Amino acid sequence: MLEPARWGSLELPNRTFMPPMGTHTANADGTISAAGVAYLVARARGGVGLLITESIQTQDVYDLPTGSTISLTHDRHVAPLRDAVAEVHRAGGLISANLTPGLGRIMPGGPGGLPPFSASDCPTLMDPGVRCRALSTEQVEDILDRFRAATRRALACGFDAIDLHGHTGYLTDQFLSSVWNTRTDRFGGDVRGRATFATEMIRIVREEGGADFPLSMRISVRQGFPGGRTPEEARELAVILQDAGLDVLLVDAGSYEAIDYSFPSYYMGDGVYLPDAEVVKPVLRIPVAVNGNLTPDLAEQTLAAGTADFVGFGRMVIADPDLVRKVAEGRAAQVRPCIRCNELCIGNVVAGKALGCSVNPEAAQEATRVLLPTPVVRAVTVVGGGPGGLEAARVAAERGHKVDLYERGPRLGGVLEPAATPEFKRELHRMVDWWEGEMARLGVTVHLGHEVTADAPELTDADAVVVATGSTPWAPPVPGADGLSAVHVLDFHRGAHVGPRVVVCGGGLSGADAALELALDGHDVTIVEAAPQIAADMVVHNRVALLRRLAEVGARVLTGHRVTAIGDGTVVCEGPDGVVELAADTALLAFGVRPDRALPDALADRPATHVVGDCVQPSKVGDAIHAGYAAGAAI
């Protein structure tokens, strides 16, 4: 992974790359922002072999302008982006411009309040009852002319390479697809005809940048819907693109019709796109690049096996920009892991907000969130060893404070420790391991099995206190909820026995994940949820994967039903059609939690006290980590 390699004519210091990922940090006029520059520079300093930018718009006539997205549609966009490229170079990095000709049918609407344009008259993504406007031959040629102008601007910016956006069902992929492209002109027909739009872009880059200018493109080998791309077609397409002048082929899978594959969560496991690399690698002369839930160890195995020639880290370098440098320096254990939650990276961008990261509060805020050494060393007591407390302790110690952390349980991690029992959530274990390593590296004194009360000397002697006491399980007053057949979800994760037939009472995130874990282990599982759907507050990409996995393992889901009683061998529910009685050896209680307010309330008047995490309001892990970061930075 750390060996130099050639990306076309470009010599990379290693075989790693950062794939294109949207950040929504650009200025409203399409120029790159200070936040966007700092984000790229941090990853250049971190040792990534080649950075590929987020998608850069090359035309704004046939798509509605997308806010907070970098653009090269006008000359005014060049100077700020040229300065950004120079900053990346000064940081020791190399950078490729990811150019996109448009979104097409993915857009909710098109210019003039009319439906979006696409390769053909096909259904829009947002409303299949609405048909796209088919681009005329003249309009396609106009898009290519605008692409040429944008390519010239990219070259003027000083980019080291260009990458073409050709995957996930955006406009180029719409031309490549037999489902979305039914044209009869030169941009349609068989695989080669449908590839004409892409090969024309390749020709344009070659004409503008020269025969040796490094050029790559990403395609989705498996699109994941009926009529989508087959392996045979993917191989044929890959060869066509290679022969047209491509230097490197990037591969992935999925589409907006199979969104969980395009943005793989923890449910998808490691190396999601390795099968796609294996499809095209044998038929190509040019290198293949792959990413998708790779770890450094798996990346090394991928290269050693010859599955791919370059390995990409996307969300991994959002979580830790220094990943490659740490591995190169023998500090792989210090790499902060991505937990594949998709909450603040993809979730934020889809919601139109700037990219963030659950485990790295500095992500895309490197320009403003800088931890400075403290001018006065203080004695800091942190009460609670969950994610909020651990992050507060880490940040305070990083700044130079003397930190003692007290955890009443036998292990660090808080609710993460039991929640990480399923194999698909093992990244949470890695996160706790990382914090433990950071506590040791930074000299934080950790006290396990130590309960702290409001009048304890650990608090009275401290200059500053962070309270992160978490939450306690809650259940409604359901008859039988305290019976022998009822087991709380956290107790299950800690090893409590459950029978072969399990009714999970509550379909939030913890209940749904526990149900999947149980079903994977062979239990007969039913989820009962009062709301209209389970895991309602989960980011949609993950939720699609969760529902797919639950269906695959045969778990049943009963929504719109309220648990009214738990008996010996039964769980009674009430829904719109009356009472339902479910056979159950175990009722797994996942109704939720409530803040543990005892210590925060007792210390309400104490100065220099910060309260973070679930003891404020039960929420997601990223919220606790960000609150802990803010507390540690404020001391």
Return the bridge partners of 222, or none: 253
Q: Could you tell me which residues come within 8 angstroms of residue 355 by beta carbon, excluding any fewer than 6 positions away?
A: 21, 22, 23, 24, 25, 39, 318, 344, 345, 348, 349, 363, 364
Please state, in angstroms and rounded to a whole number, the distance separating the CA atoms of residues 533 and 557. 9
Q: Could you tell me which residues come within 8 angstroms of residue 580 by beta carbon, excluding any fewer than 6 positions away?
A: 558, 561, 572, 573, 574
With contact defined as beta carbons under 8 Å apart, do 170 and 102 qualify?
yes
Number of other residues whose CB lies within 10 A of the CB of residue 80: 21
Q: Could you tell me which residues come within 8 angstroms of residue 44 by beta carbon, excluding any fewer than 6 positions away?
A: 51, 88, 91, 92, 93, 94, 95
Please state, in angstroms and rounded to a whole number, the distance separating the CA atoms of residues 189 and 183. 7
Please state, in angstroms and rounded to a whole number, the distance separating the CA atoms of residues 357 and 622. 7
SS3 (DSSP) at 522: coil
φ/ψ of residue 627, rounded to 5? -65, -40
Please state, in angstroms and rounded to a whole number, the distance separating the CA atoms of residues 607 and 20. 46
170 included as an active-site residue: yes
Please state, in angstroms and rounded to a whole number, the distance separating the CA atoms of residues 119 and 172. 9
**Strand-strand pairing, 593-595 and 609-611:** unpaired
Structure tokens at 245: 């002048």
How far is C-alpha 454 from the chain's CA centre?
39
Structure tokens at 284: 């190509």
Q: What burial class does residue 531 get, using C-beta atoms within 10 Å of its C-beta: 0-12 exposed, 13-18 middle, 19+ buried?
A: middle
Residue with tokens 């601007």: 153
Given the residues 39, 170, 261, 406, the one annotated as active site = 170
With contact defined as beta carbons under 8 Å apart, do 61 and 142 qualify?
yes
Q: What burial class does residue 3 get, using C-beta atoms within 10 Å of its C-beta: 0-12 exposed, 13-18 middle, 19+ buried?
A: exposed
Number of other residues whose CB lies within 10 A of the CB of residue 121: 13
With contact defined as beta carbons under 8 Å apart, do 302 and 294 qualify?
yes
With contact defined as beta carbons under 8 Å apart, do 635 and 396 qualify?
yes
Residues noted as catalytic? 170
